Structure 1
Amino acid sequence: MTDYKKVKLLKFKIHGDSRGGLIALEEYNDIPFNIKRVYYIFDTKDNVIRGKHAHKSLEQVLICVHGRCKVLLDDGIERKTVTLDRPDKGLYISNAIWREMFDFTDGAVLLVLASKLYDESDYIRQYDEFLKFIQKR
């Protein structure tokens, strides 16, 4: 991506022993914003693309806590695909980045941490509107 502040991979510390692993996430420590909403995507069927939108102001961290999925990121100039396949790896996505999640493995669970409560007016759901939005910035 041309603006590396807008998208970055985060590595979370695993606290584990013979019983298994644990990852604790704290806002402004592990997550670069105040967490206002948490949701997860699961049971995604073959060949389904999720997302297909951008946000005007919302920030997110995506974590594939089980299985694997890919995320297409588009800043209007460059496209990049990131694979999320470990629960200790998160993908920070700032606002004004188009995202599409796809190629989910069977049983994949994608956890999303969001900086704001749900607000439909923050979504840009048409790609041509996204391009107009980023040109105005």
Structure 2
Amino acid sequence: MCESTRPAEDEFGIVIYASQEVDAVIQRARIQRGYTLVIWRGRHVTEPYELTPEESFSYWQAVQKVGKALADYYQPLKMNYETLGNTVPHLHTHLLPRFVQDPAPGRPFPLLPQDGSEARIDDAALRVDADALRAALRD
């Protein structure tokens, strides 16, 4: 994640929000509609407590902003926020809208590491969602 050139899209997803230090990427993998990663793009850190107070404010403000946009657009029952880093040791947060028809109702989302071979969301549908979310996230 640290070495990314920050493309507008790649094989994993499409950027729906970007600031100087944060990217939000809606995922192509058909894991959950609206599944988005908010990725810290400042200096390398693995844990939130490694951020300065100013960096922390910037990061969590972005997580909240993207979370609200996802919630407003998809109208889920609940949003889940998972700051893991077990597979990729770089600060990022998984945002997962939770719906009535859900793979694990009432429990944490069964999120597994991805290798790029996952089934994908229809590209046209993903682009419609990405465009709408980008418009909602414009400052």
TM value normalised by structure 1: 0.29
Larger radius of gyration: 1
- Identify the structure with the greater helix proportion: 2
Q: Relative contact order: is structure 1 or structure 2 higher (C-alpha 8 Å, sep ≥ 6)?
A: 1
